[in-house]
C-alpha cells in the first residue's frame, strides 16, 4: 500500500509540474512568433514555419540566431534584406524599404521587453522605423545591442543610461537627429560604441572621456562640431573613427594605445602635435581633408607599427626632412594636394615596390608632370597671408563704418532735439540717410563654392588601403637562407614554420601551408584575399603570401606560403610553464592575455563576413610581443585548406558553421584550463577531464590541481568565475556551451573583480 501511495504522489507531482515547464517554453515561443509578426514575416525567419521542435535548437545562421539558457531566450539575432538606404527619409514609411504604416515601434519594443533575460539583441536591416521608446531600458540584462541599418529617428533614449550591463552599443546607419547623449558615462562597462552614419549634431560628448573600458568609438558620418577633447585618459581605446563630421579644433592629446585613428574630412587646424610620437601602437592614421598646417613631422613616418598614413588635402607647407626614416611596416603614404616643397625623401620614392606613395599636387622638385611650379606653393601661402590681412582690414573697415554711422545718427538726433526744443515745427526734420555698404559676403561665398567643388573632386581621387602584397618564391628562399633548418621554428599538421629576414631587414614568420588537394590559383587568390582582410590588434599581422608555381590562373598548386609578422617574445604555453620569478605570469596577467585573445576570436566570428571559424586555438598559438601584447597565430587557415572545400561541396548549410563555432569555444576552454592548472601534457587531456575536473568543486581539490601562482595571486570570486566558464566551454553537452560573447563578458568581469581586489590590497599595504 505504501508503494502505491508513493507512486500516486510522484505521478501527481509530475502532472502538476509539467504544465509549468510547458507554459514557460510556450510563452517564449509565443513572444518570438509575435516578434516575427511585428517584423511582417521577414524571409530570415521562415525557418520558424518549418521547424517543429524547440526553437532554441534551430541551427544558427547568418540571418537568424536564437540562443537559450534555462528555457528562456538569451540571444536573438535577426538580419533582414532591406539593405538599400534612402537618405531622404522623413519619418514616414517607404514601400519596399521600411516596414508598413501598420508597424508600431512602441508595441514592438513592448513585445521585445517580455524577453527579459536577453543578453544579446541584434536587429539589422529589417526596415524598423520610428522613434526608439524609453521602454527599451526594460531589457535590463542586455550586454550587446545592435539596431544598425534601420530607419530609427529622433533622440537616443535617455533611459538606456540605466542599462549598466551594456558593453556594446551599435546604432549605425539610422536617422537619429539629436545631439550625442552626454549620459554615456553611466554605462560603466561600455567597450564598443558605434553611432556611425546618423544625423547627430552638437559637440563630442565629454562623458565619453570618463568610460575607462572604452576600446572602440565610431561616430563618423554625422554632423558633430566643435572641439575634440583630451582623450589621454581612455587608456584602453584602440579605435577612434570621427570621419566626415564638422570638428574644428586643433588635434588634442590622444590615448597612447590607439591602433586606428580616423579624422578625415573635418575642419581640424593647427600643426600635428609632438605627443603623437608617443603613440607606439598606432597602425592606421588618416588626417586627410582637413586644414592642418606646418610640415609633416618626421616621427609620423617612423612610428614602430604604422602601416597606413594619409595626410592628403591639407594646408601643409615647407619641406620634408631629408634623409627621412620610414618604418618597415609602412605600406601606404598619401601626402598629396598640400603645399610641400623641396625634394622627396628616398624612403618615399615612387619607384619603391615595398609601399604605395601618393605625393601629387605639391611643389616637389621631382615628377614635374604631377607637381605645381614652386611659385604656386609660395603664392598660395602668400595669398593665404594676404587673405588673412584682407579679412582683418575688412573687419576694421566694418567697425569704423559702424562707428561713423552711430556718430551720424547721434548728431542727427541732437539736431532733431534742438529743432523741436525751439518749436520750429513748420520745417520737418530730414531723416538721416541710411548708408548702404557692400556686403563682405560676396567674395567668401564664391570661395566656399570653389571649396565645395574641390571637395567633390578630391572624392574622385580617394584611394583604399592596399591589399596584402604578393611575394616571389625567390624572395622567401633568400629570406630563409633557402629554407635552412637553422631557420625552422616548428612543424605541425598544417606545415612547417620558418623565421626569415626580408631584404629591407624586416623579420617575418613564413608558414609553408601544405594543402591536401590541388587548388586553382584563381580559387586560392579569392581565399587569400579574404584572409588578408582580417586585421585586429590581437591577431598576428599577415604581410603577404606566395603561391608556389607558375602563377597562371589556370594552373593547379598544392602549397602556399603565408608571410606573417615575427612576434619575438615567445608563446603563452612556454610562459605558463616558466619557473623564473621575473617571468611568471600572475593571475591578472593571464586574464589580460585571455581577454585579448577572446576579443580577437570574437572579431573572427562576427567582425567579418563570412566569419572565420575553427581557428586552431592552442596555448602555443598565442604569441606575445615585446610589450606583452598577445596575438593569435595560424588563424583562418581553414579558409584555404581542403576542409573548407568539403564543407562547401557537401552543401550542409549552417550545420558545419555551428560545429565550427563550438570547436572554437571548446578549444578556448582548453586554453582557459591550462591558464588555471598549467600546460597539460599532450595526450593526457581526456584523462585530466575524467579524473581531475571534479576537483574544481572543492577548496582542497583546487589547491591540488590549480597552479600555485594562480592560487596566490587571484581572488576567490575572480577565480570561481573563470572556473565556471571553463567548465561550460569544455562541457560534453554541446548545447550547454556558452556563446563567445558570454565567454568574453565573464573574463572581463573576472578581470574587473581582480583589479578591484588588487587595488584594495595595494591601498592597504601603503596605508
What is the average per-residue pLDDT within 144-165? 92
Under DSSP, the state recorded for 179 is B
19-28, 332-341, 471-480: lowest mean pLDDT where? Answer: 19-28
Residues 6+ apart with CB under 8 A from 763: none
pLDDT band at 446 (very low <50, low <70, confident <90, very high): very low
pLDDT band at 56 (very low <50, low <70, confident <90, very high): confident
Residues 6+ apart with CB under 8 A from 261: 240, 254, 279, 282, 284, 285, 286
Angle formed by the axes of helices 655-677 and 587-606, to 10°?
170
H-run or E-run covering 460: helix 442-460
Residue 118: closest CA among 106, 105, 127, 109: 109
Query: Does residue 605 sit in the same domain as residue 540?
Result: no
Query: Does residue 483 sit in the same domain as residue 587?
Result: no
Query: Does residue 71 sit in the same domain as residue 165?
Result: yes
Owner of C-alpha cell 567668401 = 444
Q: If you write DSSP's letter for every residue of 110-128 in order, what string do you get?
A: HHHTT-TT-SEEEEESS--
Query: Does residue 574 sit in the same domain as residue 702?
Result: yes
Grid cell for residue 442: 560676396
Roughly how many angstroms between the first and final C-alpha of the chain, as a whole number?
Answer: 72
Q: If you write DSSP's letter for every residue of 414-453 in order, what string do you get?
A: HHHHHHHHTT-TTSPPPPPPPPP---TTHHHHHHHHHHHH
Beta bridge pairs of residue 179:
201
Query: Does residue 591 sit in the same domain as residue 514?
Result: no
Cα 461 from chain centre = 26
> Residue 424 and residue 418: Cα distance in Å, rounded?
9
> Residue 118 and residue 739: Cα distance in Å, rounded?
13
Grouping H, G, I as helix, E, B as strand and the rest as coil, residue 651 is coil
Strands 72-79 and 64-69: antiparallel
> Residue 459 and residue 313: Cα distance in Å, rounded?
11
**Between residues 456 and 676, which one has the greater pLDDT?**
676
> Residue 671 and residue 598: Cα distance in Å, rounded?
11
User: Does residue 415 belong to any structural domain of this protein?
Assistant: no
Residue 573: closest CA among 683, 489, 682, 722: 682
CATH number of the domain where residue 577 is located: 1.10.510.10
168-172, 186-190, 328-332: lowest mean pLDDT where? Answer: 328-332
Where would I find the beta strands (DSSP E) of 337-398? 339-342, 356-358, 363-364
Residue 656: closest CA among 643, 666, 665: 643
Angle formed by the axes of helices 2-38 and 105-112, to 10°?
150
54-68, 93-107, 225-239, 368-382: lowest mean pLDDT where? Answer: 368-382
Residue 675: closest CA among 703, 705, 649: 705
User: Does residue 649 belong to any structural domain of this protein?
Assistant: no
245-254, 350-359, 637-646: lowest mean pLDDT where? Answer: 637-646
Residues 6+ apart with CB under 8 A from 658: 59, 60
Residue 674: closest CA among 629, 617, 736, 721: 617
pLDDT at 1 over 50: no
User: Does residue 618 belong to any structural domain of this protein?
Assistant: yes
Residue 536: per-residue pLDDT: 83
Residue 765: per-residue pLDDT: 65
Percentages of the chain per state (helix, strand, coil), in multiples of 5: 40, 15, 40
pLDDT at 637 over 70: yes
Under DSSP, the state recorded for 513 is E
Q: If you write DSSP's letter for every residue of 221-283 in order, what string do you get?
A: SS--EE-----TT-TT--EEE--SSEE-SB-----TT-SEEE--SS--EEPPPGGGGG-TT--
pLDDT band at 560 (very low <50, low <70, confident <90, very high): confident
> Residue 278 and residue 301: Cα distance in Å, rounded?
13
What is each CA distance from 318 to 349, 375, 407, 663, in whole angstroms? 18, 13, 48, 56
User: Does residue 633 belong to any structural domain of this protein?
Assistant: yes
Contact at 8 Å (CB) between 145 and 166? yes
Average pLDDT, the chain: 79
User: Does residue 30 belong to any structural domain of this protein?
Assistant: yes
> Residue 65 and residue 57: Cα distance in Å, rounded?
10
Residue 696 φ then ψ, to 5°: -65, -20
Last residue of a domain, one of 542, 566, 590: 566
Residues 6+ apart with CB under 8 A from 684: none
65-79, 280-294, 420-434: lowest mean pLDDT where? Answer: 420-434
37-46, 501-510, 651-660: lowest mean pLDDT where? Answer: 651-660
Owner of C-alpha cell 572581463 = 748
**Between residues 294 and 493, which one has the greater pLDDT?**
294
Owner of C-alpha cell 595669398 = 383
Query: Does residue 35 sit in the same domain as residue 130?
Result: yes
Query: Does residue 598 sit in the same domain as residue 473?
Result: no
Per-position b or e across 165-185, b if 16+ CB within 10 A of its CB: ebbbbbbbbbbbeeebbeebb
Report the percent of the chain where pLDDT is more than 90. Answer: 29
Grid cell for residue 729: 566551454
Contact at 8 Å (CB) between 358 and 337? no
Residue 613: per-residue pLDDT: 79
Residue 644: per-residue pLDDT: 38
> Residue 25 and residue 32: Cα distance in Å, rounded?
11
User: Does residue 316 belong to any structural domain of this protein?
Assistant: yes
Grid cell for residue 609: 563576413
Quickly count: other Cβ atoms within 10 Å of residue 462's Cβ: 14
Residue 646: per-residue pLDDT: 41
51-60, 63-72, 398-407, 627-636: lowest mean pLDDT where? Answer: 51-60
Beta bridge pairs of residue 560:
513, 547
pLDDT at 426 over 60: no
**Between residues 187 and 608, which one has the greater pLDDT?**
187
Query: Does residue 572 sit in the same domain as residue 556?
Result: no
> Residue 42 and residue 79: Cα distance in Å, rounded?
9
Residues 6+ apart with CB under 8 A from 445: none
Q: What angle do CA 241, 238, 273 make, to 5 degrees?
A: 70
How does pLDDT run across 198-208, given as a tens digit for each residue? 999 999 998 89
Q: Residue 336 is part of which domain span?
A: 269-380
Last residue of a domain, one of 535, 566, 597: 566
What is the average per-residue pLDDT within 583-598? 90
Grouping H, G, I as helix, E, B as strand and the rest as coil, residue 31 is helix
Query: Does residue 559 sit in the same domain as residue 497?
Result: yes
CATH number of the domain where residue 329 is located: 3.80.10.10
What is the average per-residue pLDDT within 271-298? 93
Query: Does residue 554 sit in the same domain as residue 620?
Result: no
Residue 189: closest CA among 214, 208, 171, 206: 214
Total domain count for the chain? 4
Helix, strand counts (H, E) of the chain: 16, 31
Grid cell for residue 531: 584572409
> Residue 767 and residue 762: Cα distance in Å, rounded?
9
Grid cell for residue 333: 603614404
CATH number of the domain where residue 524 is located: 3.30.200.20
Query: Does residue 576 sit in the same domain as residue 724?
Result: yes
> Residue 341 and residue 641: Cα distance in Å, rounded?
50
How does pLDDT run across 734-761, given as a tens digit for each residue? 878 888 888 998 998 898 888 888 887 7
- The strand order across the sheet containing 151-154 reads 129-131, 151-154, 175-176
User: Does residue 720 belong to any structural domain of this protein?
Assistant: yes
Question: Does the global pTM surpass 0.75?
Answer: no
How does pLDDT run across 322-371, given as a tens digit for each residue? 888 898 888 889 999 999 988 888 888 755 567 788 888 888 887 666 78
What is the average per-residue pLDDT within 95-119? 91
Quickly count: other Cβ atoms within 10 Å of residue 273's Cβ: 13
User: Does residue 514 belong to any structural domain of this protein?
Assistant: yes
Query: Does residue 582 sit in the same domain as residue 478?
Result: no
Last residue of a domain, one of 380, 412, 444: 380
Amino acid at each position: 500500500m505504501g508503494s502505491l501511495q508513493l507512486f500516486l504522489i510522484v505521478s501527481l507531482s509530475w502532472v502538476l509540474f509539467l504544465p509549468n515547464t510547458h507554459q514557460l517554453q510556450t510563452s517564449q515561443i509565443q513572444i518570438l512568433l509575435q516578434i516575427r509578426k511585428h517584423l511582417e514575416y521577414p524571409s530570415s525567419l521562415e525557418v520558424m514555419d518549418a521547424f517543429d521542435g524547440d526553437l532554441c535548437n534551430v541551427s544558427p545562421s547568418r540571418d537568424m540566431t536564437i540562443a537559450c539558457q534555462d528555457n528562456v531566450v538569451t540571444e536573438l539575432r535577426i538580419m533582414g534584406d532591406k539593405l538599400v538606404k534612402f537618405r531622404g527619409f522623413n519619418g514616414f514609411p517607404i514601400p519596399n524599404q521600411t516596414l508598413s504604416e501598420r508597424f508600431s515601434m512602441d508595441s514592438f519594443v513592448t513585445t521585445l521587453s517580455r524577453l527579459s533575460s536577453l543578453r544579446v539583441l541584434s536587429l539589422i536591416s529589417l526596415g524598423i522605423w520610428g522613434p526608439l521608446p524609453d521602454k527599451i531600458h526594460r531589457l535590463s540584462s542586455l550586454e550587446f545591442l545592435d539596431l544598425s541599418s534601420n530607419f530609427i529617428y529622433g533622440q537616443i533614449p535617455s533611459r538606456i543610461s540605466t542599462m549598466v550591463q551594456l558593453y556594446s552599443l551599435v546604432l549605425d546607419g539610422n536617422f537619429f537627429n539629436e545631439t550625442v547623449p552626454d549620459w554615456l558615462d553611466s554605462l560603466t562597462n561600455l567597450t564598443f560604441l558605434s553611432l556611425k552614419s546618423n544625423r547627430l549634431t552638437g559637440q563630442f560628448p565629454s562623458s565619453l572621456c570618463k568610460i575607462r573600458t572604452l576600446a572602440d568609438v565610431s561616430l563618423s558620418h554625422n554632423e558633430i562640431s566643435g572641439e575634440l577633447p583630451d582623450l589621454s585618459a581612455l587608456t584602453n581605446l584602440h579605435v577612434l573613427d570621427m570621419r566626415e563630421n564638422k570638428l574644428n579644433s586643433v588635434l588634442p592629446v590622444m590615448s597612447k594605445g590607439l591602433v586606428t585613428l580616423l579624422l578625415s574630412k573635418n575642419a581640424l587646424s593647427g600643426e600635428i602635435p609632438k605627443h603623437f610620437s608617443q603613440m607606439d601602437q598606432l597602425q592606421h592614421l588618416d588626417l586627410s581633408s582637413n586644414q592642418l598646417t606646418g610640415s609633416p613631422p618626421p616621427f609620423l613616418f617612423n612610428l614602430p607599427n604604422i602601416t597606413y598614413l594619409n595626410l592628403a588635402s591639407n594646408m601643409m607647407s615647407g619641406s620634408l626632412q631629408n634623409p627621412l626614416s620610414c618604418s618597415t611596416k609602412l605600406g601606404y603614404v598619401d601626402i598629396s594636394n598640400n603645399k610641400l616643397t623641396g625634394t622627396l625623401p628616398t624612403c618615399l620614392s615612387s619607384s619603391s615596390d615595398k609601399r604605395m606613395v601618393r605625393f601629387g599636387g605639391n611643389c616637389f622638385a621631382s615628377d614635374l608632370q604631377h607637381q605645381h611650379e614652386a611659385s604656386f606653393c609660395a603664392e598660395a601661402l602668400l595669398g593665404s597671408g594676404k587673405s588673412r590681412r584682407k579679412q582683418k582690414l575688412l573687419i576694421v573697415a566694418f567697425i569704423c563704418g559702424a562707428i561713423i554711422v552711430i556718430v551720424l545718427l547721434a548728431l542727427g538726433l541732437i539736431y532733431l532735439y534742438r529743432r523741436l526744443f525751439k518749436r520750429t515745427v513748420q520745417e520737418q526734420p530730414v531723416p538721416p540717410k541710411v548708408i548702404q555698404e557692400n556686403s563682405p559676403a560676396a567674395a567668401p561665398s564664391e570661395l566656399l563654392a570653389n571649396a565645395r567643388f574641390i571637395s567633390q573632386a578630391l572624392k574622385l581621387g580617394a584611394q583604399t588601403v592596399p591589399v596584402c602584397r604578393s611575394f616571389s618564391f625567390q624572395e622567401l628562399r633568400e629570406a630563409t637562407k633557402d629554407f635552412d633548418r637553422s631557420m625552422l621554428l616548428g612543424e605541425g599538421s598544417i606545415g612547417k614554420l620558418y623565421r626569415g629576414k626580408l631584404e629591407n631587414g624586416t623579420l617575418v614568420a613564413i608558414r609553408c601551408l601544405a594543402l591536401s588537394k590541388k587548388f586553382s590559383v584563381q580559387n586560392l587568390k579569392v581565399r587569400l584575399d579574404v584572409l588578408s582582410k582580417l586585421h585586429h590588434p590581437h591577431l598576428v599581422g599577415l604581410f603577404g603570401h606566395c603561391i608556389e608555381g607558375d602563377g597562371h590562373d589556370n594552373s593547379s598548386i598544392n602549397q602556399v606560403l603565408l608571410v606573417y609578422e615575427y612576434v619575438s617574445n615567445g608563446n603563452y604555453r612556454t610562459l605558463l610553464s616558466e619557473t623564473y620569478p621575473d617571468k611568471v605570469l600572475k593571475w591578472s596577467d593571464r586574464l589580460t592575455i585571455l581577454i585579448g585573445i577572446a576579443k580577437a576570436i570574437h572579431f573572427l566570428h562576427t567582425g567579418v563576413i563570412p566569419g572565420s571559424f575553427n581557428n586552431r586555438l592552442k596555448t602555443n598559438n598565442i604569441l606575445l610581443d615585446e610589450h606583452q601584447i598577445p596575438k593569435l597565430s595560424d588563424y583562418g587557415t581553414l579558409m584555404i585548406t581542403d576542409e573548407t572545400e568539403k564543407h562547401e561541396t557537401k552543401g550542409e548549410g549552417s550545420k558545419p558553421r555551428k560545429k565550427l563555432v563550438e570547436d572554437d569555444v571548446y578549444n578556448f576552454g582548453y586554453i582557459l584550463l591550462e591558464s588555471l592548472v598549467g600546460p597539460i601534457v599532450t595526450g593526457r587531456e581526456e584523462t585530466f577531464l575524467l579524473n581531475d575536473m571534479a576537483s574544481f568543486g572543492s577548496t582542497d581539490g583546487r589547491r591540488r590541481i590549480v597552479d600555485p601562482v594562480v592560487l596566490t595571486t587571484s581572488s576567490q570570486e575572480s577565480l570561481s568565475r573563470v572556473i565556471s566558464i571553463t567548465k561550460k566551454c569544455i562541457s560534453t553537452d554541446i548545447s550547454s556551451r556558452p556563446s563567445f560573447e558570454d565567454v568574453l563578458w565573464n573574463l572581463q568581469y573576472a578581470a574587473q573583480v581582480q583589479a578591484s581586489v588588487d587595488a584594495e590590497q595595494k591601498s592597504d599595504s601603503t596605508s
